[in-house]
Structure 1
Amino acid sequence: MRLTPFLALMFALSMLDRSNVGFVKQALQVDSNIGNAAFALGAGIFFIGYAVFEIPSNLMLHRVGAKVWLSRIMVTWGLASAAMMFAHDETSFYVLRFILGVAEAGFSPGVILYSTYWFPARERGKALGVYYFGLPVALVLGSPLSGFLLEVMGGQLGLRNWQWMFIIEGLAASIAGIIAFFYLVSKPRDARWLTSNEKSALEAAIAAEDREKIAHGPATALHALRNWQVLRFVAIYFAIQVSVYGVIFYLPTRISELTGTAIGSKVGLLTAIPWLCALIALRFITGMADAKGKHRQFAIAMLAMAAAGIALSTLGQHLAPVLIAFCIATVGFVVVQPLFWTLPTAYLSGTAAASGIALIGALGNLGGFIAPTLKTAVEALFQSQQAGMLALASAGVLGVLLLLSIGAHARRASAMPFGSSKAASR
Structure 2
Amino acid sequence: MTPFSSEADAARHARVEATYQKVTWRLMSFIFVCWVLNYLDRVNVSFAQLHLKQDLGLSDAAYGLGVSLFFIGYITLEVPSTLLLKRIGARLTISRIMILWGAISTSMAFMTTPTQFYVARILLGAAEAGFWPGIILYLTYWYPGARRARITSRFLLAIAAAGIIGGPLSGWILHNFVDVLGFRNWQWLFFLEGLPALFMGVVAFFYLVDKPEAARWLDAEQKKIILDALAADRAGKKPAVHNRSQLLAALKDPRVYILAAGWGTVPLCGTILNYWTPTIIRQAGVSDVLHVGLLSALPYIVGALGMFVVAKSSDVTLERRWHFFASTAIGGLGGFMLPLVSNSTTAAIVCLSMISISYFAAAAIIWSIPPAYLDDNAAAAGIGAISSLGQVGAFCGPIALGWVKTVTGSLSIGLSAIAALVVLGGLAVLLGVPANSLREKAQRN
After TM superposition, the score normalised by the length of structure 1 is 0.93
Unaligned runs of 5+ in 2: 1-23
Describe the SS at the equivalent of 1:186. coil
How do 1:222-237 and structure 2 match up within 5 A?
Answer: 222-237=248-263
Q: Which secondary structure does the structure 1 equivalent of 2:321 belong to?
A: helix
Q: What secondary structure, in the 3-state scheme, does the structure 2 residue paired with 1:259 have?
A: coil
The answer (yes or no) to whether the contact 1:86–1:92 under 8 Å persists in 2 is: no
SS in 1 for 2:340: coil
Letter of the 2:282 partner, please give it.
S
Q: Cα distance 1:418–1:63, how it changes in 2: closer, same or farther (>3 A)?
A: farther
The structure having more radius of gyration, on CA atoms, is: 2
Indicate the residue corresponding to 1:398 in structure 2.
Answer: 424
- 1:258 pairs with 2:258: no
- CA positional deviation for 1:413: 5.0
Give the counterpart of 1:348 among 371, 374, 394: 374
Native 8 Å contact 2:262 2:429 kept in 1:
yes
Choose from 303, 314, 327 the match for 2:353.
Answer: 327
**Structure 1 residues 13 and 207: CA distance shift in structure 2, 3 A:** same
Match of 2:165 in 1: 141
Amino acid at match of 2:296: T
Q: Is the 8 A contact 1:67 1:186 kept in 2?
A: yes
The C-alpha deviation readout for 1:70-128, integer Å capped at 9, x for no partner, is 11111111111112112222211110100000010100010000011111111100010
Partner Cα separation in structure 2 for residue 76 and residue 366 of structure 1: 23
The one-character-per-residue Cα deviations of 1:212-264 (angstroms, maximum 9, x if unpaired) are 333499984431132111121112212321122133211101111222414x2
Determine the C-alpha separation between the residues in 2 that align with 1:180 and 1:214. Answer: 35
Residue 226 of structure 2 corresponds to which residue in structure 1?
A: 202
Q: Does 1:238 align with 2:264?
A: yes
The equivalent of 1:268 in structure 2 is 293
- For residue 236 of structure 2, give the secondary structure of its aligned residue in structure 1: helix
TM-superposed deviation, 1:345? 2.0
**CA shift in 2, pair 1:256/1:379, >3 Å:** closer
When residues 280 and 18 of structure 1 are mapped into structure 2, their CA distance, relative to the original with a 3 A threshold, is: same
Q: Secondary structure at the match of 2:44?
A: helix
Hey, what's the Cα distance between the residues in 2 that align with 1:214 and 1:117?
Answer: 18
> Offset of 1:379 from its aligned partner?
4.9
Counterpart for residue 79 of structure 1 = 103
Question: 2: distance between equivalents of 1:186 and 1:420?
Answer: 26
1:412–1:173 Cα change, 3 Å: farther
- Please name the residue that 1:294 is paired with: 319
Match of residue 85 from structure 2: 61
- What CA distance in whole angstroms lies between the structure 2 residues aligned with 1:145 and 1:284? 27
User: Which residue of structure 2 lines up, in the alignment, with residue 90 of structure 1?
Assistant: 114
1:19-418 correspondence to structure 2 within 5 Å = 19-215=43-239, 220-262=246-288, 264-316=289-341, 317-379=343-405, 384-408=410-434, 411-412=435-436, 414-417=438-441
CA distance in structure 2 between the aligned counterparts of 1:217 and 1:314, rounded to whole angstroms: 51
Identity %: 34
- Deviation at residue 169 of structure 1 after TM alignment: 0.8
Aligned mates of 2:307, 2:300 — CA distance in 1: 10
State TM-score, norm by structure 2: 0.89
Structure 1: distance between partners of 2:175 and 2:146? 46
Give the direction of change, closer, same or farther, for the CA distance of 1:77–1:349 in structure 2 (3 Å limit): farther
Decide whether the 8 Å contact of 1:113 with 1:357 is kept in 2.
yes
Unaligned runs of 5+ in 1: 422-426
Q: CA deviation at 1:406?
A: 2.8
Sort the Cα spacing of 1:143 and 1:384 in 2 relative to 1 into closer, same or farther, 3 A. closer
With over 3 angstroms needed to count, the CA separation of the structure-2 counterparts of 1:380 and 1:25, relative to structure 1, is closer
SS of the residue corresponding to residue 23 of structure 1 reads helix
